Structure 1
Amino acid sequence: MQKYLITSAEFCMDTPNVFKNTLYNQFLKHKPNYALYRDKSNKNYNLGASSFMDVCRKFETMKSFIHQHADLAKELNATGVHLTSKQFDKIFDAKKFGLEVIVSTHTFEEVLLAQELGADAVTFSPIFTSPDKGEPKGVEELKELLEMCSIPVFALGGIVKTLHVGMIGQTKAYGFASIRYFK
């Protein structure tokens, strides 16, 4: 099962050297297959993304993604871009850049649309209870979705314990994505 680490403010992303050290140590500890630079509050987003990529380049087999900004992902030579559920119209342009595309989804319809539009993978959330993310979908709904689609699906939302990872591992999910699990 693939592991997708998503950064958060707790990584001290506004202090480049601290961020790089923290991120490097988390990569060593958790050995994610995918990593996403996501920071909605950093005024120096491009600098943070550049620092993120500096660390990612040290882990040759890991895929690196930039949140929302396909042009920046292309500029920094990231593997791809992770688009929000309001950015379906950006899939085609990101693919023209040669980027892999992951899209955040919350409904079966969004998953199927992302698949139809050529996304490479989706996150589907929230699976478990997660702060401010609405009613959890649960593992059974995830299993139902996985029978309907062929696109790789990362389970996301409330995955904070090995027990949660184990529950996801008993489905056909491509992997899991998390912020809090990787702290």
Structure 2
Amino acid sequence: MQKYLITSKEFYGETSEYFSTVLSSQIKKYQPQYALYRDKSAPNYSEIASSFVTLCKKYENVKSFLHQDIALAQRLGAYGVHLTSRQFKEIVEAKKMGLWVIISTHTHEEVLRAQELGADAVTYSPIFTTPDKGEPKGVDDLRELLEICNIKVFALGGIVTQEQIAMIAQTKAYGFASIRYFF
């Protein structure tokens, strides 16, 4: 099962140096195949994004993704972009730019739409209880989704224990994504 590490300024700080130190430690410890730099409010987002992409390239098995910003992802040489559920119209543009595209989804319909538009993968959430993210969908709903789609699906939301990962591993999910599990 693929592991998708998602950063958060609460865990990784706001300076390039601290961010790189913590991220490097987490990559070595958890060995994710995918990593997303996500910080919706950093005034120095581009600077930290550059450090993030550079650091991920040091680990041959880690694919780097930037949040929302297609142009910056391409300019910095990130592997791909992770779009929000309000950016479906940008999937085609990102693909034309040679980026691998993951998009956030919250319904079966959104997953099928992402698949139709050519996204490479989706995060589907929340699977388990997550602060401020609404009612969890649960593993049974995830299984139902995986029976009707052909796109790679990362389960997301409230994944913090090995038991939860084991439950997801018993589905056809491509992998899981998390912030808190990796810290």
CA contact (8 A) 1:14 1:42 kept: yes
Give the match's secondary structure for 1:177: strand
2:75 corresponding residue in structure 1: 75
Deviation at 1:60, TM superposition (A): 1.3
Between 47-56 and 122-131, the greater mean CA deviation after superposition = 47-56
Deviation at 1:61, TM superposition (A): 1.8
2:25 corresponding residue in structure 1: 25
CA contact (8 A) 1:13 1:48 kept: no
Q: Which runs of 4+ in 1 moved over 3 A?
A: none
1:128 corresponding residue in structure 2: 128
Unmatched segments (≥5 aa) in structure 1: none
Q: What CA distance in whole angstroms lies between the structure 2 residues aligned with 1:151 and 1:129?
A: 24
1:98 corresponding residue in structure 2: 98
Q: Compute the TM-score of the two structures, normalised by the length of structure 2.
A: 0.98
Q: What CA distance in whole angstroms lies between the structure 2 residues aligned with 1:35 and 1:128?
A: 21
Q: How many correspondences in the alignment?
A: 183
2:109 corresponding residue in structure 1: 109
2:139 corresponding residue in structure 1: 139
Deviation at 1:13, TM superposition (A): 3.7
Q: What CA distance in whole angstroms lies between the structure 1 residues aligned with 2:117 and 2:174?
A: 19
RMSD over equivalenced CA pairs, Å: 0.7
Task: Report the residue type matching 1:73 in the other structure.
Answer: A
Deviation at 1:68, TM superposition (A): 0.2
Q: What CA distance in whole angstroms lies between the structure 1 residues aligned with 2:12 and 2:128?
A: 26
Task: Report the residue type matching 2:173 in the other structure.
Answer: A
Q: What CA distance in whole angstroms lies between the structure 1 residues aligned with 2:47 and 2:111?
A: 32
Unmatched segments (≥5 aa) in structure 2: none
Q: What CA distance in whole angstroms lies between the structure 1 residues aligned with 2:176 and 2:12?
A: 23
Q: What CA distance in whole angstroms lies between the structure 1 residues aligned with 2:148 and 2:13?
A: 38
Aligned pairs (5 A) from 1:35-74: 35-74=35-74
